[in-house]
Amino acid sequence: MSVAARRNSGRSVVQVARFARIAGVAASVAACGGGASSSNGTAATAPAATAAAPKATVLNASLSSPWSLAFLPDRRMLVTQKGGTMLILSADGARTEATVNGLPAVVASGQGGLLDVALDPEFDASTNPWIYWTYSEAGAGGNGTAVARGKLAGTTLTDVTVIFRQAPKVSGEGHYGSRLAFRADGTLFVTLGERQQDDPSNPGLDHAQNVGNHLGKVVRIRRDGSVPADNPAFGTSGAAPELWSYGHRNPQGAAIHPVTGELWVTEHGPQGGDELNRVQGGGNYGWPLRSYGCPYGAPVGDACRVGGGTHAPAYVEPVSYWVPTSIAPAGLMFYTGAGFPEWRGSAFTGALAGQALWRIALDGNAEASRERLFADLGERIRDVRQGPDGWIYLLTDSGKLIRIDR
């Protein structure tokens, strides 16, 4: 079946235990070379035992609308809650050890609030205790995504500074984007939604195509908020200097590819058309002029795809997309751990509307296959992270911290 056909098919939930058994049997056969005995006539070594199937373990069920997770060097966890609080959880995730003090006020309404959190790439509790977070900030014209940083001193933030503000601020309570990802050179990517200001049915509402603002963009800044000199040039006067790419709708997942060092994002489409994108400097990702999804209210099908669907050659094609039904992807991670060798190199994203964890297996920069996992949990998965122990950690809108282990 072609990738396009797979994208249009309603794929059933993958049985994780069956997947693990198949992977284990294949590995055993390969290791044994298909033979039953050795060349000297002695019995061959028995195949290694099949690895246990991946399973979900609820570590904490008492969080309040958690949005993001970051691991401290001692394996404790920072967790943001959309209402405006940041918690420090114990290393096992089961207990709240403290609430972090010193955060600025947030607009906790609709999809806004306290959102992503990330440690400085060179974080050290004694010598470099900077952490970074995104939140919805009030201001002239409404509200918008802001990025702040501060030094984590015990349970208090000091030297708090806002290093980036999305412009313009607008009314509304949706599409903040707001994921953070540090590049290997220490610069910081910030994903920004178009704040529900664009409408593919109205050609005049195409803010994500305007490089003079921050709506529907990815920006790249230094850790102090200054602009790198090698950001892309967009060939027009008035382009915002922070811009890295444009034509995004609502990118709520961001991660750096562990081999190429490139930024990848997941973003929400309209009716269908959710995307996994490899983000290229200067790239135009099409919204609101192209989408494999359909405008709200339109009959779902190929005929209603925004701009015909196909992005190339005018816009960058997604690596993967979901049709006809939206999954609402949230969070993004490339798995590099030892706990699930059969998953190494895959991208993982949570699904809000789709209530599952998606694994996208890659062949270079292309989708090889994908599967829907842990749908039986019935959870809106907001964030997905690899822990220092090699397991996968999930946050859910219902307030759970879940570990995927064996």
Please give the positions annotated as active site.
175
Check: CB of residue 69 under 8 Å from CB of residue 383: yes
DSSP letter at 354 equals T
Tokens of 348: 């993982």
Distance in angstroms (rounded) separating the CA atoms of residues 1 and 24: 25
Check: CB of residue 209 under 8 Å from CB of residue 172: no
Residue type, 83: G
Listed in sequence order, the DSSP H helices in 257-309 are none
Phi-psi category of residue 380: left, alpha or beta, with phi > 0 → left and psi -120 to 50 → alpha: beta
* Main-chain dihedrals φ then ψ at residue 269, nearest 5 degrees: -90, -175
Q: Strand 263-267 to strand 251-256: parallel, antiparallel, or no bridges (unpaired)?
A: antiparallel
Residue type, 347: A
Phi-psi category of residue 172: left, alpha or beta, with phi > 0 → left and psi -120 to 50 → alpha: left
Tokens of 359: 């694994």
Omega prior to 324 cis, within 30 of 0: yes
Listed in sequence order, the DSSP H helices in 266-390 are none
Cβ neighbours around 338 below 10 Å, total: 9
Distance in angstroms (rounded) separating the CA atoms of residues 214 and 144: 10
Distance in angstroms (rounded) separating the CA atoms of residues 220 and 175: 19
* Main-chain dihedrals φ then ψ at residue 107, nearest 5 degrees: -95, 95
